[in-house]
Chains A and B, each alone.
Chain A
Amino acid sequence: MVMGAAILVTAVVAVCFGSVNVGIDRVIGVVWANVTGESSAVDSIYQKIVWELRVPRVLMAGVVGAALALAGAALQGLLRNPLADPYIVGVSSGASLGAVLVMTFGSSVIFGLTTPAAAFVGALVILVLVFAFAQRSGNFTDMRLVLSGVALGYVAMAGTSFAQLQAEPGQVRGILFWMMGSVAGARWEGLLLPTIVMVLAGAWLLSQARGLNALALGDDDAVAVGVNLRRFRLGLLIVAALLTAVTVAVAGGVGFVGLIIPHAVRMIVGADYRRLLPVAALAGAIFLIAVDLVARTVGSPNEYPLTIFTALVGGPFFLWLMRSPEGRT
C-alpha cells in the first residue's frame, strides 16, 4: 500500500518536472483526456511534452528499474553471492557489443538491426555461449557459470572498446551515453516488450519464491525439501538474463540498481523472497524514476546518463542504510 502510493507520487512528480515544468492539474488533465480518448482537446504542446514524451519515459524508467531489481534479486538468490548483479553473467557486455557495433558502423553490419534489437541479440548470443562453456555433460555449477560469464563479458568488452575506437568523434558521446544508460528515447511503442517481459518474469519469480527461500541455506537444503535444483537454476538464470537483455536493449547499461536495490530491500523487509521480490520490484521502479528525474533536471536543459546518478544517489543511501539500526543483520 505504502509502496503503491509512493510509486504513484514519484511518477506524478517526475511527469511534472523537467526542462519545462508543468502544473499537476494540467498533467492530470492531459492524462485523463488521453485515457478517455479525447486527446484532440488538449493543447498540442502539452500533449507532446506530457503524453508523448514524459509519461512513456517515466513508465520506462519504472519498468527498467523493476526489471533490474528483480534480475538482481534472482541472481543473488541463485548464486548466494551478495556481489551478484544482472551484469555478472556477461549478458550486458554482449548487449553493449551489439549496440555499439550498430551505432559505429551503421545498422547494415548486423542484418539491418536497430540498436535495441542488436543489443538484445548480443545479449542472447552471450547467454547461449555462457551456457555452452559452463556446462559439462549436462550439468553446470554456479562457479563455472560465473567464470564463463565474466570471461565472455571481457571478450565482448574488448570488442566494444575496439569498435568505439573506430567511431567518428561525433558518435562517441552517443555511445558513451548509451553505455551508461538512459531512458531519454522512450516512446509508447517501445514500452510493450519490456513491460511484458518484466510482468511475466516477475510473476514466475514470485511463484518460485519458496524455492528461492529453500536455496538460501544451500544446495543440499534445497534438494532436501524437494526443489528440482537443475531445472530451477536454469530457469532462474534464463529469466534473469532475459530481464537484463530487455532492459539493456531499451535503456542501455544502467548500473547499480540490480546490485543495491535487492540488498537495501533485504535489510528493510528481510530475506523472505515472498516479500523481497515484490518490494524490490517497486523499490527499483521508484528509484529509477527518481534518478531519471534528477538526471534530466539537474543540468537542464542538458541530460546526463543514469548510471552517474544511480551510484551517486544510491551509494551514500546504501551506506547510510548499512549503518542504521534496521540495516544491521
Chain B
Amino acid sequence: MKIAITDLGLSVGGTRFIEELSLEITSGEFVAIVGPNGSGKSTLLRAMYRALKPDAGCILIGSANVWNVAPRRAALLRAVVTQHQTSNDSMLVRDIVATGRHAHQSWYRGETKADRDHVDAALVRCGAAHMADRKYATLSGGERQRVLLARALTQDAPVLMLDEPTNHLDITAQHDLLSLLESVDLTRVVVLHDLNHAVAHADRIIVMHEGRIKAAGIPSETLTSELTREVFAVDSRLIEHPITGRPHLLTAPMR
C-alpha cells in the first residue's frame, strides 16, 4: 500500500522539527530514513504512525488520512516496531505479541482461534517461537526486537514502520533483523542510524537534515561524498562490499 505525505509541518514546544515535507512511498518498497541526531527522522515516523500530531499537511496511507481515522483503523493500515525500550514488566512474550491483534478484536469478543494462529505464525516467522512462554523482561535486546516485530506482523497491516530497530543489538542480531525485514513482503519504512544498514538493505534512502528531506533516491546514487560532508560532516566513499557485493559506505573524519 502506498504512502503519500504532503506539506507536513510539526512543532513540539515551539521548536520546529519538520518543515514543509512531502514524500511518496510506493507499495512494497523498503525505504530507509537516515539523518543525524535531531534531523527529525524519528519525529517524521512518529507522525506517520499517529503518535505525534502534525500541525500542517497530511499523511495518507492508501486513501486514508492517518490522522482522520480512528486509532483502531490506523492499526489496520500500519504496524509499528517502536523505539527499543527497557521494561521490567513480567508479561509473557505470547501475551505481548497477542496485543498486536487488538484492532481485529472488539470489547465483547475475546481471542479467537484465528487470533492465536496469527500469533503462533508470527512467532515462528520471527524465530521467536521458543521464547513464547518466557517473560519479556528476561530477553536480550535482539530477542525483544524479534518479539516486537512478531507483534507488528500479527497486526496484518500492509505497511510496517520501524524506529531504529537495530539500536543496542549485537552484530549477529543486527544482521538477522535486517535479513528478516528484507524477506517481509510489505511496504517498509525504517528509521536507521547506521548508514551501512540503509545502503545495503533499502530500496530507497531518504536523508533528513534540519527537518527537511535533503536527498532521496537509490542508495548508491544518494549518499555521495558531498552529501555526507554537508549532512553528517564526514568524508565518505561508496565501495562494493567484498563479501556481499552490495554497496558499502566507508567513512572518515573530514580533513
Contact = CB atoms under 8 A, between A and B. Distances in A.
A208 B46 CA distance: 25
Interface in A207-227: 207-208, 210-211, 213-214, 216-221, 223-227
Given A216-B89, A220-B46, A220-B80, A225 B96 contact: no
Contact of A224 (B75, B92, B108): B75
Nearest to B108: A207
A78 to B, nearest CB: 14
A38 interface: no
B95 A213 contact: yes
A227 B88 contact: no
A223 B49 contact: yes
A73 to B, nearest CB: 13
Contact of B91 (A213, A218, A224): A213
B155 A225 contact: yes
B87 A216 contact: yes
Interface stretch (A159-167, A242-250, A265-273): A265-273
B46 to A, nearest CB: 7
B135 interface: yes
Interface in B31-90: 46, 49-51, 70-76, 79-80, 82-83, 85, 87-90
Interface stretch (B3-11, B98-106, B239-247): B98-106
Interface residues of A, number: 25
B99 A223 contact: no
B102 A210 contact: yes
A228 interface: yes
A271 B82 contact: no
B151 interface: yes
Given A213-B96, A223-B51, A226-B75, A271 B85 contact: no
Contact of B82 (A207, A211, A216, A220): A220
Interface of A: 207-208, 210-211, 213-214, 216-221, 223-229, 266-267, 270-272, 329
5 contacts: A210-B99, A220-B46, A220-B80, A226-B155, A329-B135
